[in-house]
């Protein structure tokens, strides 16, 4: 019933079909970027090892982070972990950066 009612108003919309298709395509692309990736146990262990090495030995790592529906890379050394706020602190050439753990897409 609701589908029929929705279609009734869909055809009376003021958007051109090309615009509707372009919006759907854009929504799909941004949705794929912002979707949380499925991280398996081996990948998580590798990330944990890299973070520990960076923290303990001062090894520089690259952290790919979701930022404004895009992925950016932050290079630096781990200076701390705030478990209460779920943040990872990195020392970069531009100062200290705080990264939300949920936003991390990969660590290299």
Q: pLDDT 10s digit of each residue in the chain, 108 long?
A: 455 555 555 555 577 888 888 888 887 777 655 556 677 888 889 999 999 999 999 999 999 998 887 888 999 999 998 888 889 999 998 899 999 988 888 898
Specify the residue for token string 């706020």: 85
CB burial class (10 A; 0-12, 13-18, 19+) of residue 102?
A: exposed
Residue 15 φ then ψ, to 5°: -90, 140
SS3 content of the chain, % helix, strand, coil (to 5): 45, 35, 25
- Cα separation, 47 vs 8, in Å, equals 51
CATH code of the domain occupying 41-107? 2.30.30.520
Q: Is-above-0.85 flag for pTM?
A: no
Ordered by start, the domain boundaries in the chain are 2-34, 41-107
């Amino acid at each position: 019933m609701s589908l029929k009612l929705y279609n009734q108003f869909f055809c009376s919309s003021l958007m051109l079909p090309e615009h509707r298709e372009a919006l759907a395509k854009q929504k799909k692309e941004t949705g794929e970027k912002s979707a949380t990736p499925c991280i398996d146990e081996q990948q998580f262990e590798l990330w944990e090892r890299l973070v520990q090495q960076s923290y303990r030995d001062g090894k520089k790592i690259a952290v790919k982070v979701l930022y404004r529906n895009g992925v950016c890379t932050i290079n630096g050394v781990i200076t701390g972990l705030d478990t209460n706020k779920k943040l990872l602190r990195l020392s970069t050439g531009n100062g200290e950066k705080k990264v939300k753990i949920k936003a991390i897409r990969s660590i290299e």
